[in-house]
């Protein structure tokens, strides 16, 4: 399904990504469109799943979760003496269920999974890895990368890139 987004849709998405707390009236003023148009476009993009949810971005340093780690994990698809194949997706879903886990990605290359975790300190991340992650059936080995400093962290999709792609598909 090809989604058709016009310039107003993209402008609204840009504003909503920066501040989801704004109301339709405020967004309308920023994108120079009638409030009814903005409201209808937002509802349409929600219905289509383009806007999946609204959330607050919390400061993990102020909430005692200041330690971040990225963990690479390799998966074995068959346990010794077990005929049943293990599902990489099921293993990823199991990992995603832990509270410490912020992201789980199935990746290509020498590793199978990329996991982002937050914890109170290095010891808490270590306990997660030893007491939870490595006990999951199918996890073969892990490699942990501790984050010293975060220079950029965002979930925003660059609207300028979307606009460029949108213009190319309309030609």
Residues 75 and 28 in one domain: no
65-90 average pLDDT score: 89
Residues 39 and 91 in one domain: no
Helix (H) or strand (E) run with residue 166 in it:
helix 159-169
This prediction has a pTM of: 0.83
Residues 84 and 142 in one domain: yes
Residue among 114, 24, 113 nearest 69 (CA): 114
Burial 99-113 (b: 16+ CB within 10 A, else e): ebbeebeeeeeeebb
Assigned domain for 14 exists: yes
How does pLDDT run across 101-159, given as a tens digit for each residue? 999 999 999 999 999 999 999 999 999 999 999 999 999 999 999 999 999 998 888 88
**What residue numbers bound the domain in which 17 lies?**
7-56
Give the count of domains, the chain.
2
pLDDT at 16: 95
Contact criterion met (CB below 8 Å) for 73 and 139: yes
């Amino acid at each position: 399904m090809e989604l058709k987004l016009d310039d107003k849709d993209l402008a609204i998405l840009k504003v909503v990504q920066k501040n989801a707390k704004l109301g339709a009236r405020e967004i309308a003023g920023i994108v120079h469109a009638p409030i009814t148009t903005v409201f209808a476009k937002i509802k349409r993009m929600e219905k289509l799943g383009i806007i999946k949810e609204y959330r607050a971005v919390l400061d993990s340093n102020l909430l005692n979760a200041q330690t971040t780690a990225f963990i690479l994990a390799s998966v074995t698809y068959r346990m010794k003496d077990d005929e049943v194949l293990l599902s990489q997706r099921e293993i990823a879903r199991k990992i995603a269920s832990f509270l410490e886990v912020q992201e789980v990605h199935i990746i290509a290359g020498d590793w199978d999974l990329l996991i982002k975790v937050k914890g109170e300190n290095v010891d808490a991340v270590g306990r997660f890895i030893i007491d939870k992650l490595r006990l999951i059936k199918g996890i073969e080995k892990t490699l942990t990368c501790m984050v010293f400093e975060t220079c950029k962290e965002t979930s925003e999709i660059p609207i300028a890139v979307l606009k460029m792609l949108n213009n190319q598909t309309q030609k």
